[in-house]
């Protein structure tokens, strides 16, 4: 097994595992829905505990997914995401405003909240 293959297997079985850190998320692109696992994070930034260097921190929610799970293995701006409610957060409808494709095979989406249709 190649390192890349092993890394994708580890991501799926540990980090994106629903029993661990993962959540089931739905991508809508060009009218087609794709279900996959991801890790969703809404940063809690209250302004008091951050200190003086606030300008370097993003205040947007983030979603981590495996690039191999995306259509054509590619992220796109304006991808629409639905994240189901969990004990940690309510359900969200989100739109991708930017993303970073990391060398480890993970895509990190920067998101903004959108109204549900």
- 28 against 105, higher pLDDT: 28
Binned at pLDDT 50, 70 and 90, residue 102 comes out as very high
- Answer yes or no: are the C-beta atoms of 94 and 41 closer than 8 Å: no
pLDDT of residue 44: 63
What is the distance between the alpha carbons of residues 93 and 43, in angstroms, rounded to a whole number?
A: 16
Binned at pLDDT 50, 70 and 90, residue 7 comes out as confident
Length of the chain: 117
pLDDT of residue 14: 77
CB count in 10 Å sphere of residue 94: 23
- DSSP letter at 103? T
Torsion region of 52: left, alpha or beta (phi above 0 gives left; psi -120 to 50 gives alpha): alpha
Tokens 């993970």 label which residue? 106
pLDDT of residue 58: 52
- Answer yes or no: are the C-beta atoms of 89 and 44 closer than 8 Å: no
Over residues 64-88, the pLDDT tens digits come to 999 999 999 999 999 999 999 988 8
What mean pLDDT comes out for the span 7-29? 85
Q: Which helix (H) or strand (E) holds 41?
A: strand 32-41
pLDDT of residue 13: 79
Closest CA to 22 of 60, 59, 65, 81: 65
pLDDT of residue 12: 77
Over residues 29-69, the pLDDT tens digits come to 999 999 999 999 987 655 555 555 555 455 679 999 999 99
């Amino acid at each position: 097994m190649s390192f890349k293959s092993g890394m994708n297997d580890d991501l799926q079985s540990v980090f994106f595992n629903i029993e661990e850190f993962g959540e089931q998320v739905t991508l809508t692109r060009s009218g087609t829905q794709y279900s996959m696992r991801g890790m969703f994070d809404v940063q809690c930034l209250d302004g008091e505990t951050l200190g003086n260097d606030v300008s370097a921190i993003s205040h947007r929610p983030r979603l981590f997914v495996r690039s191999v799970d995306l259509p054509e293995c590619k992220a796109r701006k304006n991808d629409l995401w639905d994240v189901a409610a969990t004990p940690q957060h309510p359900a969200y409808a989100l739109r991708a405003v930017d993303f970073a494709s990391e060398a480890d095979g993970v895509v990190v989406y920067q998101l903004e909240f959108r109204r549900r249709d």
